[in-house]
């Protein structure tokens, strides 16, 4: 996502990358059913807790489930354990969850056995005991429970209480997937994608994502849809790929909503539509997906596809920054720098940029370099400016390469080295960077580090101006 918030007329670039498969988002269920939900033992082992929660909410029969649980129904105890545990990232009542899983385990429910093992493994509510965790995982796995097999594959992969064995982990994970566990299907696909414990095989990856998708898993829908768009392991099918990603997004998957928003923003595989882009970014943000929060906040700040709302933008950017997204930190810093939705607070803005830079963000490093070079809100310090420019260049941020090259070319805060300066600038130029092209044009115009060449200078400056370089336009 290209964003412009007005600070030094710098463009903000969206770092849009796919992340590894996580827990599936909740699915839409039929609210017209008037009896308490029932799940077979196979379904309990194969459907993530997050899906089960939605079934419980859809039926709105917690009291009925409680009655069945007290009467000794192992399934009701398991469902309520899931309801209060949800997932590791969204636990709401660990003591109650543990109580229900323990009761269900004692009644012979092997899915509850696997979750109880997870309590011992992580030390949730009870004292951590990895020996007991392994014993319970094995009990669930040896009983043929798909969830137990998947969880045992996880600890074998990490060597958590058992010898680390990636090949065995891959075998067990595929076994769990074959038994029907949705998350194991996604994990197995991921193993084939990276060649983890198996030979890399994109066709096998896509096949497992397809199976996951067809079981209703939103992560499977998203990943298989993306593979159909990319032609990774399957024949390209844009219509089907977009449809699957939209289904995943509309079912509540925040990552899919963010992906679809990006597609609509840039017109990738769909007709460009900024209103729809921002709509899906909003869905992603409200689903708790960090990049969705950042993108939605940025759209609100700009009024892109939605009415401009700087205070709400700041709230979403703050949420993204608190979750560690460096782009959110950078955009929030610019808001505080410019007083957009918040009182101007340059000191806090700099602290946000420094936090982002400490996490390796080259864009933040470049901002900091420009702040110290300009001296408008801090004491001008060219040496500190190039300190940040050089770090940005080393982090492969292209504007940082151009700025570090300029500093070396002019001897700004660093010993002048025209050859090295031109080398850094040319690295930026080879990536079609407007700033690098503009700086090379200026060097040709005045003969800095190379002979004067006015036609070449004009050509480069015009090219940089077409790419949006303010430096070139001013030149």
Distance of CA 142 to the CA centre of its chain: 35
Read out DSSP for 370-413? Answer: HHHHH-SSS---HHHHHHHHHHHHHTT-HHHHHHHHHHHHHTSS
Cα–Cα dist 400/366, whole Å: 5
Residue 129 falls in which region: left (phi positive, over 0), alpha (psi -120 to 50) or beta = beta
Integer Cα distance of 312 and 314 in angstroms: 5
Distance CA 109, CA 114 (A): 9
Contacts 24+ apart (CB under 8 A), 51-57: 51/24, 51/26, 51/27, 51/216, 52/79, 52/82, 52/83, 53/26, 53/82, 53/83, 53/86, 54/26, 54/27, 54/28, 54/29, 55/29, 55/79, 56/80, 56/82, 56/83, 57/29
Strand (E) or helix (H) holding 4: strand 2-4
Asked whether 133 and 118 are in contact (CB, 8 A), the reply is yes
DSSP state of 197: S
C-alpha to C-alpha distance for 311 and 297, rounded to whole angstroms = 9
Rounded-to-integer distance, Cα 1 and Cα 268, Å: 12
Give me the residues of the chain with pLDDT under 50, please: 1-37, 58, 60, 88-89
Select from 264, 212, 311, 252 the least CA-distant residue to 53: 252
- Long-range pairs for 16-21: beta carbons < 8 A, 24 or more residues apart: 16/262, 16/291, 18/226, 19/255, 20/190, 21/183, 21/186, 21/187, 21/189, 21/190, 21/219, 21/223
Per-residue pLDDT, 242: 98
Per-residue pLDDT at 62: 72
What are the b/e assignments for 323-341, b being 16+ CB within 10 Å? eebbbbbbbbbbbbbbebb
Query: Which pLDDT does position 87 carry in this prediction?
Result: 54
Stretch (H or E) spanning 13? strand 11-13
Given this model, what pLDDT does residue 469 score? 84
Contact between residue 380 and residue 373 where contact means Cβ atoms under 8 Å apart: yes
Report d(CA 184, CA 204) in Å as an integer. 14
pLDDT at 396: 96
- Strand-pair category, 2-4 with 11-13: antiparallel
């Amino acid at each position: 996502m290209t964003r412009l918030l007005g600070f030094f007329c710098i463009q903000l670039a969206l770092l849009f990358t796919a992340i590894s498969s996580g827990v599936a988002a909740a699915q839409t269920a039929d609210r017209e059913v008037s009896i308490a939900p029932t799940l077979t033992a196979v379904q309990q082992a194969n459907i993530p807790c997050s899906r089960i929660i939605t079934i419980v909410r859809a039926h709105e029969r917690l009291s009925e489930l409680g009655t069945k649980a007290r009467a000794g129904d192992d399934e009701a105890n398991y469902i309520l354990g899931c309801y209060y545990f949800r997932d590791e990232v969204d636990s709401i009542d660990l003591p109650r969850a543990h109580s229900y899983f323990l009761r269900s385990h004692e009644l012979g429910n092997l899915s509850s056995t696997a979750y109880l093992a997870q309590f011992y493994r992580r030390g949730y509510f009870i004292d951590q005991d990895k020996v007991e965790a392994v014993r319970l995982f094995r009990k669930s796995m040896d009983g043929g429970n798909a969830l137990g097999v998947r969880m045992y594959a996880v600890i074998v992969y990490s060597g958590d209480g058992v010898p680390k064995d990636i090949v065995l982990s891959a075998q067990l994970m595929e076994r769990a997937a074959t038994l029907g566990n949705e998350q194991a299907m996604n994990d197995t696909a991921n193993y084939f994608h990276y060649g983890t414990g198996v030979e890399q095989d994109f066709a096998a990856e896509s096949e497992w994502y397809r199976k996951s998708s067809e079981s209703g898993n939103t992560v499977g829908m998203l990943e298989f849809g993306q593979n159909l768009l990319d032609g990774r392991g399957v024949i390209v099918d844009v219509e089907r790929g977009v449809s699957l990603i939209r289904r995943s997004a509309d079912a509540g998957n925040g990552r899919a909503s963010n992906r679809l928003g990006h597609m609509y923003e840039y017109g990738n595989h769909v007709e460009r539509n900024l209103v729809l882009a921002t709509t899906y970014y909003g869905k992603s943000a409200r689903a708790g997906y960090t990049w969705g929060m950042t993108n939605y906040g940025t759209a609100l700040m700009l009024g892109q596809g939605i009415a401009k709302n700087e205070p709400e933008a700041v709230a979403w950017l703050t949420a993204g920054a608190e979750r560690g997204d460096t782009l959110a930190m950078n955009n929030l810093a610019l808001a505080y720098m410019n007083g957009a939705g918040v009182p101007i607070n340059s000191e806090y803005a700099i602290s946000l940029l420094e936090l982002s830079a400490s996490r390796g963000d080259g864009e933040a490093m470049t901002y900091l370099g420009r702040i110290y070079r300009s001296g408008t809100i801090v004491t001008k310090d060219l040496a500190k400016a190039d300190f940040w420019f050089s770090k940005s260049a080393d982090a492969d941020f292209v504007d940082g390469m151009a700025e570090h090259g300029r500093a070396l070319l002019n001897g700004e805060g660093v010993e002048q080295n025209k050859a090295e300066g031109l080398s850094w600038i040319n690295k930026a130029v080879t990536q079609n960077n407007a700033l690098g092209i503009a700086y090379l044009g200026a060097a040709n115009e005045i003969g800095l580090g190379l002979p004067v060449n006015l036609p070449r200078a004009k050509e480069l400056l015009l090219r940089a101006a077409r790419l949006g370089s303010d430096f070139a336009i001013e030149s």
